[in-house]
Structure formats: structure tokens, C-alpha cells
Structure 1
Amino acid sequence: MSTPLDTVTHAEQTPEVDQPWADLGLKPDEYERIRDILGRRPTAAELAMYSVMWSEHCSYKSSKVHLRRFGDLPSETPLGKTLAGIGENAGVIDIGQGWAVTFKAESHNHPSYVEPYQGAATGVGGIVRDIMAMGARPIAVMDPLRFGAIDHPDTARVLPGVVSGVGGYGNSLGLPNIGGEVVFDECYQGNPLVNALCVGALRHEDLHLARASGAGNLVVLFGAKTGGDGIGGVSVLASETFEDEGPAKRPAVQVGDPFAEKVLIECCLDLYRAEVVDGIQDLGGAGLSCATSELASAGDGGMEIELDLVPLRDSTLRPEEILMSESQERMMAVVSPEHLTRFMEITERWDVEATVLGRVTGGDRLQITWGGETIVDVPPRSVAHDGPVYERPIARPGWIDAVQADTTADLPRPEGEQIAQTVLDLLASPNLCDKSWITEQYDRYVRGNTAQAMPFDAGVVRVDESTGLGVALATDGNGRYGRLDPYAGAQSSLAESYRNVATSGALPLAVTDCLNFGSPEDPGVMWQFQRAVEGLYDACLELGIPVTGGNVSFYNQTGETAIHPTPVVGVLGVLDDVRRAVRSGFPAAGEVVLLLGETRDELDGSEWAKAVHGHLGGTPPRVDLAAEKALADLFVEAGRAGLLTSAHDLSDGGLAVGLAESVMTHGVGASIDLASVGGDGLDDATALLSESGARALVTVAGEADVATLLGIAATYGVPITRLGTTDGDRLRVKGTRGLTVEELRAAHTGTMPRYFAS
């Protein structure tokens, strides 16, 4: 890397200088394109900016051509327009009564493999700042996680650190963690997925956007000092495939300080209340390179920055390192001169360092100086928004036909007394076992507005304390289904998240996603990605909900081994009053147990096939989006009427796991008859283990409520099957051995402590 004396004038005079563009992740044609844009070679500082901003993580250069179709989805919801969508720091949805919520999911996968604690912690910190940048108060977080085999030594290294990082940062911020997932699979062995979601609340008038407008307005950097941690960071780290030998020689992972971020949250909210912020951007991936170029690009002019005014923790940092640093807990604001004094008074009251770095100009250039010399002079859009766009080669993998032909038809299905043991085996399996060893490390109820959290189907948090208005959120992603059929797998993930929100009684409104895939340079991976995006688009179109934003994480691959296609889909819904949210788990004896939806012989890709037989093949369950919407509409109406005493979606593990979890929640047993499930010809094992979609398990208090629910179900065309009643202290399925609550809990709760308690 050149010295700080590499100014724009010097670059013009020395076109032959050899530059380390390849070491920074740029391709030969990308470097040449930079030279064409500038009409000269870039300075060292400009090269640093382009390299991080044109990385896969920041530029979406391999996914843009596919993601553009999400912009064609309707922006209207049943409650109003989308207030901010794709392209902003986070999506913003009108939830009525003058309130809006903003939510988004992001990935911090590769950093969390290299340094599990800090990788996960700064993933939480980064997504929280995205929410702050929209003018909102963050109110809750979620953490969808994927790890390798539960018994692999490296899982024992990664998982505890990740969980500690998520909990350590979120708990210190005082944000409840209200949901997520923990999935184990060998495909994630060298590439754990650490996705994070945050939701925030704001009044409509408090919405802020990332724009630098108004010539003469000032550019203010505030928050933590800039250090050497995270130079290149996630921008570079998330844009390359891991080698087979694992996490050696990587860019420095960022180091987070949650207490500094907590102060920054309150400071930002005070600044918004004082109406002294014209535009704002958080500093995450690509640091100052991102904040300056994106603010200027989205504004109506240019920007001038004096880089040597940046407060530093390390005085030896070179200009290009300052521009690439991804040090945490920093924000950049655009402030009019008449508001600067008030802005500084507020930051001083919160003991937050704030420095005027420059100003918005009337031109169309981003110019950065160091010691009075110009080291950056670029069109900001060329850095932030007009980077490379690739139409990567796409080819359907040759292996997929054989995998789809390898169905579960010949797998032995349990009968009679074997069924009870199969249920216990499933409850103890890594993906279906109790995860409270993890979730008890998270504060789920801090701030006092959490109405529901793990292990319930959806997290529910109150937004307005006076009316009870609130939101329900769920995240889901099924990599097994994604491997068998990425189109159906993506739709299944969306459908399950949509269904989880609906079972709480909430009206689903919007989608965010975190699309985790292997290398985009592999045509087979790009085929998986294209099909998954098509599946999500078609599903959202049919369900009538917008995608408001999200994240793409490529290069989740070690050598030639890619992860299963894993689009993690978050759905947000609204509840008029969170006190009426429907909870899962049988609440009392003497209630009627009902199955909503149609059960089919669909065991391909199931947890039973994988956990019991080590089998993954066939085609995933059919996705019936019309049935999913009908089921959701039923839940909204029945929930508002207070008709349901419990509701639990059916997905992984099917009816067997849904019944067992419902029994364990409050220790209330049930007597179940499967004779009518799925019609004639469906054996008991299939009725219990099938993972057919658009289904849920519910209870109502008595026969009058059964009749009312039957009437609502008929309106929406939702099939209802009577299963039995709640009673006693064991799960009794006719024709099989009964299982006591103690047996179920012993199987369910023993797995995680056995591997991680020490």
C-alpha cells in the first residue's frame, strides 16, 4: 500500500505505479474500470474505497440482477404504504395509529467463524445501528443460527462463542431477544451462519433517511473513535470462499462495545427529538468509505471531507486504513449550520464524541483531503451504487436429479410400539431438542414489552404501551428443503415464518430476508440462488406482502463444499393488542384438540428422515400458498375473537413434535386419535411425521367454540380434524405407548447440556 503522499496529483503523474488491487479482492477488469471512471490510476485511498465498496458483501454485484424483481412487488399492505423499502438501511412499515416499525436481517457469518464472540456481537451491533439510522428506537432482536454437526470439535469452539456474543451484546444494550433458530448440519461445518434481525419502533414523522442534501450543510462523525480493528473486516471477509484449512490469515474482525452503543442509541433519539439531523448513516461494512459515498450518492450534491480530523484510537493508521476500518459504534450525520450548536450540546451531554469532518457541496464529487492534500476525488455514485453488476453463469446441477429420485418411499416407518420411541428420538435430535441452554443466556423480557418469546412460535413485542399495539416476528429457513429444491425450499421458509406469525393471531405484513449461499462463481450455486429468489418473489406476490429489505451472503463455502441453499426469511405481523396474542402449549385439561389443514404423505427432506435415517433426498412438501393465506386469515379472525386457547404451527417433526411440545409446555397431557388425519390410507407414523405445510395444532375451550371455529374455517376453506382432548399428564396416541411428560422432557432437554454445558 502506498504512503499518504499518494495524492490525486501524484496519481495523475505516475500512471505506471504497480498497485495491490488483486490483494484487495478486485478483478483485473474491475481495476481497469476504476481507471476508466477516474481517467487515471486511483490513489491508494481511492483504491481502498473501491475495493471495499465493490466487494460482494457491499455491492451485491452477483445478486443485483436477481434481486431487482423484489422492487416490482406491491408496496401496499392492509394497513398502509411501505414507508421505506429496498435500498434504505432498513424497511419501514406502517402498523397503524401513527406508528411504524422498521426491521431488517443481516449476516455476520465468516467473521463469526474466525472470531465467534466478536463476530456475533458486532453482527448484533451492526443491525441495531441500521435500525437506529431510520429514526427508530430498537425494541427487540432475533438470532437465526446454523452450525456444523453437534458433536464436531469445531462446533464446540464456535457455538458457545457465538451465543455469548449475541447475548453479551444484546443483553448489554437492554434489548430483548425474542426469537430465532438453532440448526445443526454437517454442511455448515466450516461456514456457520450467524444471522441477526432487529426491529425498531417510530412515529411516522420521525422517519430519517441516509441522504446528504443541501450545499453548505455539515458532515458530522460521532460515536466511538476509529481504530485498526476490522480493517477490511466483513467487506473482504464475507466476499471470499474459505480454504480447506479453515480460518487462517483473515482481515481483523471488528471489536464491539455494547455500552458505547447503548449511549449512542439514546443520543441519536435525543438528536431526532431535537430535529437537528437532516440525514444520517451508520458506519458498518466498509466504514467511512460506505458512509461518505452512500450519503453523497443518495443526496443532491457532492461532499468534502478532511480525513485527518477523524478521531483515532491508533495514530499510526494510514488514510486508506481509516477509510477501510469497520470500527463499531459510529454514526455520520448531515447537520445544517444553524443546528450544529444544539447537535453538539446533545452529544456532549451524552459524552459522545462528535467531530465536523466536512460539508455538503453543490458539485458532484466526493473529495477527501489529508493534511491539506486531496487523496480522493471520485463520483460518489461510482463508489456506492454504480459498481460492477455480474450476470453470473447459471446451470442446474447435474446431481440434483439423482437426489430428487432418492425418496423416502423405502425407508422403514415405525409401527405400534416403535412410534413412541421414534417420537423420543426426534425430541432428542439436535435440531428438535430443547434450546433453552442457549435462549436462557439471552434476556427475553428486558424493557417489559415482550409479550412472547422463545420457545413460542413467534416473538411478540408491544410498541404502544397505551393501546397494546404490537408486532409479531418469526424467522425460518430450511436448508434441507433448499438442497432438494431451492424454489420450493425458499417458499417453504417464507410459508413457515408467515404461519408462525399468524398462529399468534397477528396479521402478516412484510418480509425481510437473509439469503445464505455458496460461491456465486459456481454456476450451480447461482442456479440455486436464482430459483430461491424466484420462489420468494412468486410467494410474496401471491401472499400480497412486500420484501422491504434484507441481505445476501455468498461465499459460504469451504473449498468445493458449499452450504445448503439457506434463505432465512423473517416475517413481521401486527397485533391490535398484544394481550390477545395466542400462545402455544396446551393450557388446561378438558379442552378440544384440533388439527387445521391437510396432512399428506410428505416425508422427503423431513427431520425424521435426516435424524433417524441419515437420509436427505426426494422432493420437499408441496407449498400451497393459498392454503397458507387462508390459514392466516382464520387465525387473525379467531384470535381477535378470543376463540383459541392455544395454537402451534406444524413444521419440522410434524404433528408428533407439535403434540409433544404442546404437552410439555404446561405439563398437560392429551388423548389423541389419528384415525381421521389425512383420510383413508394414511398410516399412523406418516400422520405423525409428515411435514405437510399450511397446518397448525389448536385447542378451544369447549364444544360451542368448536362449532364457531368450524364456521370460520368453512368461510376460509380450511380443513379441520378433531384429534381428541387434553387430560392427564401424558401424551397418549391411540395404538401406541403413552409417553409421560417426564419422559418427553427428559428426551427433549438432555441434548444441549450433554454437548455444551461444560
Structure 2
Amino acid sequence: MSLADSDRELVVSELDREPTRAEAALFENLWSEHCAYRSSRPLLSAFDSEGEQVVVGPGDDAAVVALPGEEGEDATYITMGIESHNHPSYVDPFDGAATGVGGIVRDTLSMGAYPIALADSLYFGEFDDDHSKYLFEGVVEGISHYGNCIGVPTVAGSVDFHPDYEGNPLVNVACVGLTNEDRLVTAEAQEPGNKLVLVGNATGRDGLGGASFASEDLAEDAETEDRPAVQVGDPYAEKLLIEANEALVDEGLIESARDLGAAGLGGASSEMVAKADLGARIELERVHQREPNMNALEILLAESQERMCYEVEPENVERVREIAERFDLGCSVIGEVTDGNYTCTFEGETVVDVDAYFLGEGAPMNDLGSEDPEPPATDLPDVDLAEAFDAVVASPNTASKRWVYRQYDHEVGARTSVGPGDDAAIIAVREAEQGLALSSGAAPNWTAVAPYKGARAIALENATNVAAKGATPLAAVDCLNGGNPEKPDVYGGFEGIVDGLAEMCETLSAPVVGGNVSLYNDSVAGPIPPTPTLALVGAKEGYDAPPLSAAPEGELVLVGDLGLADDVRLGGSEYLAQFGGSDRFPELPDDPAALIETLAAVADDDATLAVHDVSHGGLAVSLAEMVTDDAGLEVSLPGDDPAGELFHEQPGRALIQTESVEAVREAFDGVAPVVELGAATDDGTLSVDLGDRTIETDAAEIRERRATIERGLE
């Protein structure tokens, strides 16, 4: 590890001396892109993070949001957080992904919340590539192992394959927790004289320099050379830590808390006191260790997992120790909060003595140039429609993800009302008698073509997913993934996804209450597409929702543009990804907020039999996904551009199966077009009349086509 020359000059000027070895390493990690957001922070003010429902916004380990109608001391709060574990998951897919789950769960614990749901959004190179499959299988195994062992259900997420992730996959994990006003804890230290107590696993040498490693491009030899920077998880210890944290919060023993993640103990403890403009005095040799002869720098910066730093009043320390011992967890009183500098000693020698605020906030921001991407020309392929239908429905991007989510325990906790495989999951928050809908994902094909418009579309797509379950948007967290920001075209694309996501979330009244930035996702294969993962929650009364699958009777309508005549745009579509060509990205609805509100209301109407959003793969994939052995669909497309009608991917559209087409028309009057497509049948067949030809298939054939991932991994 080495501190950049310009940063060292700034540190020397502030300290009026050369930094110690431990100080230099601490500054390097806490001033890294991963921790300090040096390239992205100037852009993040674009996000609207405020609202009546927002209790704790950005800047803490997780955000806290009140559910609608919940007020006063008995109000039910949810926590939301998201993080990336991209570089570690390339180097060691199992442990990299597993510790990503562990980290975001501990972020939830540090707010005094109990984790109730996970969502994972995963991005890999082309599915046919053997290395991509190796990473894919390892990441899914790591997530399922850790999540299943700790008893937190993985209920939502996404999987995308794109050639530009080959040298740098992305693993983004979100967590939702449950708390209330009495249990709420933050990461801001409260009072000088309070003790700092480390609870959890012993500290080893794993994960050293993880924050700085995450702030660099991946080199060709990263899989071997950077393995020591990857943490190793122990989900059984995490499960004990979850229950111990619950006991500590129940008894009111915690004044503030921070998960030990990036930059380890140094990061967690310094950030706690910096938030309150306080200091700390830490004796590093007091940290319980699992390896012999660890030095000060290793103890300070190791990112060993399953550890929490708590601020505890002196009279409560013994009780904290008793609870830790009850759950077979290590417990060390490592120091105390002060009103001076942040200091660390090791065997009587002072190794760190700096102002905590300067350590956390002193990093200079980068002033980077940017270039706007060129809009694509229109160059459309001429493809047989039946061939195109089969290819798009069978694409790994639109095919069934059952192979992934069947490995996750999505029922544990007995709160999952709608599980993975639907447009959005629904978690039963019985404490408030409300359902919490959760959708998470991005769309690299969209943002690769049009970063700004594609990011707006991603926000609308996630909102459409929760509205299809009868919920209205409540809040969101984002994980903004980009390549090397020092490249103007890459930084221009990153600016585009920030502005697009921020604008649409504000339009939808979904404040972005927290998030994560991951840059330098660049390798010898080149930069990743700008990838703005959004995890969005919506709320509704009760826990029931209309299914995605069709019923054997009822009329079928499309809400939104079918793509007639000159309106169709195929840019960013799976159709073009399969067959080549280029086009502009589709325009979005004029009033997306009204559309989402109306769709949520119609989804909850008694006359509604099924609802399914239309997006990735277009109408072709959405129709195919609705068909079951017991219910088919007989559809006619009225336009003269069947390729556009079937495959364009404008978001903000939905298929609604209803007993009253007139009621749907009336609800969407002045909001969005309503196009009658046909009716349900009871024979399990999908028939699409294109005027001069008909595409016909059945549920069994569709299942076989959509089993691409299972076949590819056999």
C-alpha cells in the first residue's frame, strides 16, 4: 500500500509532519475512491433524498424510512442499504459474493434493525463463455450459502449477461431491515467517556487493503495477486451476531454502532467519532485476534468479517460482554470516545494521532473531464419473426432465472408473500399490516446505448414492477457502477446514469435515501457499461397481490404504447443484442408518476386477474411468461410493424388481464393508452396473430426455451 504523492503532501501539511506507516495506510484506504467517493460525490447532490417518510437519509450505514401512516413512538420503520462486492467476486467468486451479503446485513444491524429480506443484482460476461459461467456459479453459490445460513431470505434481484462484464463482473446486494423509533441506533458517537467495544469474530489478516483494492482497475493477474485482499466469511458467526445485536438493542445497551467493513476497525471507529466531531483513544493490542504476531497496521486495517464496533456507556460494558459470551462471540473493550484526536496505540507506542474529521472528510475531490456519448444511428436487421421470437425468449437475459433463485431460501422468516420470479417480491410487515414490495435491478443494454435515458427507464421499470403488485413507490437505494472515471467518455456515461436515475426517482416521489458507488470497474477487457442498480420498495395495504401468470379466462389489454408506425424504437433491446443493428432508445411516458399510481390502483382492483410488466425482451417475452399449462393467450397485434411491436422495450408498460376492459380504460383515461390485445384461453397455448402470419407455441415449449441457464450449466 502506498499513499499517492499529492495526498501525502496534503496530509503532511495538515499534520505538520510525515505520517506514520499506519497513518499513511489509513489515509490511503479512507481516501480511496471506494470510501471517499472522490470522483462521484460532486455528482450525488442531484439526488433528492428527503421526504416525510425519511427518518435517516444518506451517510449512515443504512437509511431508515417510515411506512405510510406510521407515526409516533409505535411507528414501524424499515431500513434500506445496498453495496457492491465487484472486485472481490472476480478474484474469489464464492467468498467475494458471500461477504458482500454479510456486509450489507451488518449495515442493517448497526441501525438497530433486524434483517428481513435480501435482493441481489448480478452482472456477468456472455453466458456462453466458460469463465463467465465459473464466476456466475461461484457468486450464486456464495450468496445462497451465506444468506441461507444466516436465515435472511433472498426474495428479489436480477441477472444480466453482457460482453463488457467479462473482465469485471458486478455483484450488488441490497438488504431491508425492520426497526422502530425505540430501537433505532445510528453511527454517530454520542458522548466522550463512553467505551468502544468490539464484538464478533477475532481479527485476522484477511481483507487487508480491501478498500484500496476496490478502487483500482482489475489487472490481468488479479485472480491470483489480489486474493489476500478478499475477505473470508463465516455465516454461522454472522447468525450469532444478528441475534446478539438483537439482544443488545432490546436492552438499550448501544449508544451508536458501526459495521466493520471497508478499512476495518480503522474505518468503522474513526467514522463513528468523526460524525460527532469527536475523537477516540484505541489500544490496538486489546483487539481479540486469531493470528499470532499481528502488527498495528494489520489490526487496524484488516477487513475480517462478522465484527461490530459499539459505543457503550461504561456501566453497561459488563452486560454487553455477558451477551457476547452467551452467543459465543468475542468481545474486547478497545478504547473510548474522547473530545480530542483519533489516536491509536500499540504496545505503548502511538501509531495514529490525527483529527478524525480530516481523516474522513479531508480527501480532495477529483475534477474530471467528461464526454457525452454519441446517439446511435438506426440500422435494423431483417429477421424472420418466428426465429426472432424463439431467440429473444431463450436469451439468457430474458430466460427463466429459476436456476438462481431455487438455490435461495426465500421462505425463511415466514414473511414472504410473493417470492422471486415475479415482477416484485412482497414481504409481509405484520407490525404495520402492510405489504412491502421490493424490486431490484438495472439494464446494461439500455444504459450502454443511452446512459441518461436508460437510467431514467431503469427507475421507471423498477417502479412498474412494484406497481404491478399493487404497491406505490416509497423509497430507493442505488448502487452506481462505472468504469475508470479518468476516461472522459466513461465519466460522461457515469454522469448520465446519475442524472437520469435522480430525475426519474424525483418524478416518481421515490427519494433515494442511500446507496453505494463503485468505480474503476475496468479491466484488460475494457470498461463495464454504466450500471445504475436500483433497489426500490413500495408499500400497500395487506400482503396479497395479483399474479403474474394468466388465469384461464378474462380479457387481455396492454397499458402503454404498442409501438405503432413511426413510434417504435428498438434501441437497447434484446432483439438487437441477438441480431445486431442499432437504434435510438425509446421515449418514456409523458406522466410516469400518474401511470404508476394508476397501475397500482388497478392491480388491486377486484376485477383484475393478472398483471405483468413489459420491459426486457418486449411484449414477446412478457406474453410468454404469462402462459401456463392451465391458461393460454390468444392475441392479435393491430399494427404494421410486428418486429417493433413484439420486441421494443419501452418501460412503463404492463399487461393486464381483467374482467372489465372498460374499467381499465376509464382508470387510465388521460394517463396512458389502453390497447385490447385479446383474451385468455384454457388450453395453455400462446397464439400471436401478426396479420399475415401467426406465432403459436404452448407452455411446455416455452418452458423448454426459457430453460437456457439450466441447460447451459448441465
* TM above 0.5: yes
Match of 2:666, as an amino acid?
A: G
Aligned to 2:648: 690
- Conserved in 1, the CA contact under 8 Å of 2:344 and 2:351? yes
CA contact (8 A) 2:278 2:356 kept: no
The aligned counterpart of 1:75 is: 50
Q: Does 1:450 align with 2:410?
A: no
Cα shift readout 1:166-203 (whole Å, capped 9, x = no counterpart)? 00000101111111111111100010111111111111
Which residue of the other structure, out of 627, 633, 637, is the alignment partner of 1:670? Answer: 633
Verify the 8 A CA contact 2:501 2:532 in the aligned structure 1. no
Give the aligned partner of residue 21 of structure 2.
44
Tell me the equivalent position of 2:532: 567
SS of equivalent to 1:394: coil
CA contact (8 A) 1:599 1:692 kept: no
Given candidates 672, 686, 703, the residue that maps to 1:731 is 686
1:491 aligns to what SS in structure 2?
helix
Give a deviation string over 1:705-738, Cα, whole Å, max 9, x none. Answer: 3232222222x62221111111022001123132
Where does residue 412 of structure 1 map in the other structure?
382
Q: Distance in 2 between matches of 1:322 and 1:393?
A: 38
Q: Structure 1's 92 and 653: CA in aligned 2 closer, same or farther, altered over 3 A? A: same
State the partner residue of 2:571.
604
Task: Give deviations 1:348-402, integer Å, cap 9, x for gaps.
Answer: 2222221111111122x101111122111000011122222112122335xx35x
Residue in 1 aligned with 2:471? 506
Structure 2 residue corresponding to 1:381, chosen from 343, 357, 376: 357
Q: Quick one: which amino acid aligns to residue 449 of structure 1?
A: R
Match of 1:756 in 2: 713
Query: Where does residue 11 of structure 1 map in the other structure?
Result: none
Conserved 8 A contact 2:164-2:528? yes
Secondary structure of the residue aligned to 2:676 is strand
Aligned positions of 1:258-337 closer than 5 A: 258-337=235-314
User: CA–CA distance in 1 between the matches of 2:520 and 2:464?
Assistant: 30
In structure 2, the gaps of 5 or more residues are none
Structure-2 separation of matches of 1:570 and 1:215: 37
Post-superposition Cα deviations, 1:502-526, rounded to whole Å, max 9, x if no partner, equal: 1111110112111111001111111
Matched, 1:659 2:659: no
Root mean square deviation, CA, Å:
1.6
Match of residue 7 from structure 1: none
* Maintained 8 Å contact 1:214/1:300: no
Distance 1:108 1:667 in 2: 42
Query: Would the alpha carbon gap of residues 204 and 470 (structure 1) be closer, same or farther in structure 2, given more than 3 Å must change?
Result: farther
What does the per-residue CA deviation read over 1:478-523, in whole Å, with 9 as the maximum and x for residues that have no partner?
A: 1122122211111111111111111111110112111111001111
Q: Which residue of 2 aligns with 1:14?
A: none
- Where 1:205 maps in the other structure, the secondary structure is coil
Question: How many Å separate the matches in 1 of 2:501 and 2:648?
Answer: 23
Aligned to 1:719: 673
Query: How far apart, in 2, do the equivalents of 1:499 and 1:713 lie?
Result: 15
Partners of 2:63 and 2:606 lie apart in 1 by 31
Q: Is 1:99 matched up with 2:54?
A: no
In the TM superposition, residue 560 of structure 1 has moved relative to its aligned partner by 6.7
Give the distance between the partners of 1:608 and 1:361, measured in 2 at CA: 61
> Does the 8 A contact of 2:478 with 2:514 survive in 1?
yes
- Give the CA deviation at 1:245: 4.9
Cα displacement string for residues 254-283 of structure 1 (whole angstroms, at most 9, x for unaligned residues): 000011001101111111110111000000
Q: Distance in 1 between matches of 2:539 and 2:239?
A: 27
Q: Which of 532-541 and 484-493 deviates more?
A: 532-541
Amino acid in structure 2 at the alignment position of 1:134: M
From the superposition, tell whether residues 90 and 643 of structure 1 become closer, same or farther in structure 2 (CA, over 3 Å). Answer: farther
Q: TM-score, normalised by structure 1?
A: 0.90
Instruction: Tell me how far apart the structure 2 counterparts of residues 85 and 208 of structure 1 sit (CA, whole Å).
Output: 13
Taking the aligned partners of 1:316 and 1:642, their CA distance within structure 2 comes to 68
Give the Cα–Cα distance (whole angstroms) in 2 for the partners of residues 607 and 132 of structure 1. 39
> TM-score, length-normalised on structure 2?
0.95
Distance in 2 of aligned mates of 1:65 and 1:175: 35
TM-aligned CA deviation for residue 300 of structure 1: 4.4
1:607-646 equivalent positions in 2, closer than 5 A = 607-611=574-578, 613-615=579-581, 617-624=582-589, 626-646=590-610
**2:362 is paired with a residue of what secondary structure?**
coil
1:190/1:246 contact within 8 Å kept? no
SS in 1 for 2:229: coil
* Partner Cα separation in structure 1 for residue 402 and residue 627 of structure 2: 17
Alignment partners' CA distance in 2, 1:287 and 1:187: 31
The answer (yes or no) to whether the contact 1:595–1:721 under 8 Å persists in 2 is: yes
Secondary structure in 1 aligned to 2:82? Answer: strand
> Matches of residues 107-256 of structure 1 in structure 2 within 5 Å?
107-233=84-210, 235-250=211-226, 251-256=228-233
Contact in 1 for aligned 2:456/2:501 (Cα 8 Å): yes
| One-letter amino acid of the counterpart of residue 429, structure 1 | S
Q: CA deviation at 1:294?
A: 0.2
DSSP 3-state at the match of 1:212 = coil
Q: Is the 8 A contact 1:218 1:335 kept in 2?
A: yes
How far does residue 29 in structure 1 lie from its aligned partner after superposition? Answer: 0.4
Letter in structure 2 aligned against 1:464:
R
Identify the residue that residue 464 of structure 1 maps to in structure 2. 430
The Cα shift of 1:746 comes to: 1.2
Paired residues of 2:467 and 2:603 also in contact (CA < 8 A): no
In the alignment, what sits opposite 1:436? 402
Q: Secondary structure at the match of 1:447?
A: coil
> What's the secondary structure of 1:594's corresponding residue?
strand
Q: Which residue of 1 aligns with 2:58?
A: 86
| Corresponding position of 2:662 | 707
Task: Determine the C-alpha separation between the residues in 2 that align with 1:282 and 1:124.
Answer: 13
How far residue 326 of structure 1 moved from its aligned partner, in angstroms, is: 0.3
Judged with a 3 Å threshold, the aligned counterparts in structure 2 of structure 1 residues 270 and 697 are, in CA distance, closer, same or farther, namely same
Q: Which amino acid aligns with 2:91?
A: V
Q: Post-superposition shift, 1:340?
A: 1.9
CA distance in 1, matches of 2:89, 2:440: 20
Q: Kindly tell me: are residues 335 and 245 of structure 1, through their superposed partners in 2, closer, same or farther at Cα, counting changes over 3 Å?
A: closer
Residues 560, 523 of structure 1: CA spacing in aligned structure 2 closer, same or farther, 3 A cutoff? farther
Contact 1:476 / 1:496 at 8 angstroms: preserved in 2? no
1: CA distance, partners of 2:92 / 2:358: 33
> Structure 1 residues 172-181 or 731-740, which shifts more?
731-740
Letter in 2 for 1:99: T
Please point out which of 740, 744, 758 is paired with 2:698.
740
Give unmatched runs, 5+ long, in structure 1.
1-22, 676-680
Q: Identify if the C-alpha distance between structure 1 residues 74 and 333 changes in structure 2 by more than 3 Å, giving closer, same or farther.
A: closer
Q: CA deviation at 1:685?
A: 2.5
Question: 2: distance between equivalents of 1:43 and 1:575?
Answer: 55
Cα drift, residue 290 of structure 1: 0.7
Using the alignment, how far apart are the partners of 1:642 and 1:176 within structure 2?
30
Match of 1:360 in 2: 337
Give the conservation status (yes or no) of the 8 Å contact 1:220–1:357: yes
CA contact (8 A) 1:591 1:725 kept: yes
**CA–CA distance in 2 between the matches of 1:255 and 1:130?**
17
The 2-side partners of 1:246 and 1:189 are apart by 14
1:591 maps onto 2:554 in alignment? yes
Number of aligned residue pairs: give it: 700
- Give the SS at the match of 1:472: strand
Question: AA paired with 1:589?
Answer: P
Q: 1:376, 1:245 → 2: CA distance?
A: 33
